[in-house]
Homo-oligomer: A and B are copies of this chain.
Amino acid sequence: MEITIVTGNKGKFREFEELAAELSGGLLRMKWADVPKEEIQAESLEEIALHAANSVLKSGRLDPPFFVEDSGLFIEALSGFPGPYSAYVHKKIGNEGILKLMDGVENRRATFKCVIAFVSAPSAPPRLFVGSVSGRIAKKARGDKGFGYDPIFEFSGRTFAELDTKEKNRVSHRGQAFRKLLRYLGVSYKER
């Protein structure tokens, strides 16, 4: 079985490719398409991913099955900032900017969330699969693996950038959402 992921981010494609290989035992192969999708401004990842999936479907430029994914970091003390605009904010102010905003802030709770909007057939409405992981904003960036906010997101004492891919996939928001998709597809998976 083949599923296409629609993204402009090659790193994201690679992460899903590894997840698929690892969890489906070869039953599921990921393909990559960088076709245009409409990203709306909204506070919910669900709304953004749903709209994006529908826009790809309507454009007729890609045949199902495919999915789009949207994810974000929600910091409790910052009312959920940067949330759905995580990628933009990271590009502009980086982990350094987030650490500056969190300077002197006691409550460091944060959640990584991922939403997959999956389209199985031309006439089927997209289905959503959501995953999330709770952790803390570190005092300093640590680790050199992963990407984005990984170096400042602490889970059980280590940052996501200090975990290797397999360790990260086991607990990450993206891993959780993808497992739900695999279960829905009936692709048996195993943890290694």
Contact = CB atoms under 8 A, between A and B. Distances in A.
Given A39-B41, A40-B40, A85-B88, A78 B101 contact: no
Contacts of A80: 92
Interface centre among A39, A80, A93 (most CB of B within 10 A): A93
Interface in A86-125: 88-89, 91-93, 97, 100-101, 103
- Contact residues on A (Cβ < 8 Å of other chain), bracket: 20 to 34
A79 interface: yes
- With a 10 A CB-CB cut-off, give which of A79, A80, A81, A92 has the most chain B CB atoms: A92
Contacts of A41: 39-41, 48, 85, 88
Interface string A141-154: 00000000000000
Contacts of A164: none
A38 interface: yes
A82 B81 CA distance: 12
Contacts of A100: 100-101, 103
Most buried by B among A41, A42, A80: A41
Contacts of A103: 100
- Pairs of residues from A and B, 9 with the lowest C-beta to C-beta distance, nearest first: A81-B92, A39-B41, A79-B92, A85-B85, A81-B93, A41-B41, A40-B40, A78-B93, A97-B101
Contacts of A81: 89, 92-93, 97
Contacts of A83: 92
A173 to B, nearest CB: 20
Contacts of A97: 78, 81, 101
17 contacts: A38-B38, A38-B40, A39-B41, A40-B41, A41-B41, A78-B92, A78-B93, A79-B91, A79-B93, A80-B92, A81-B93, A83-B92, A85-B85, A93-B101, A97-B101, A100-B101, A100-B103
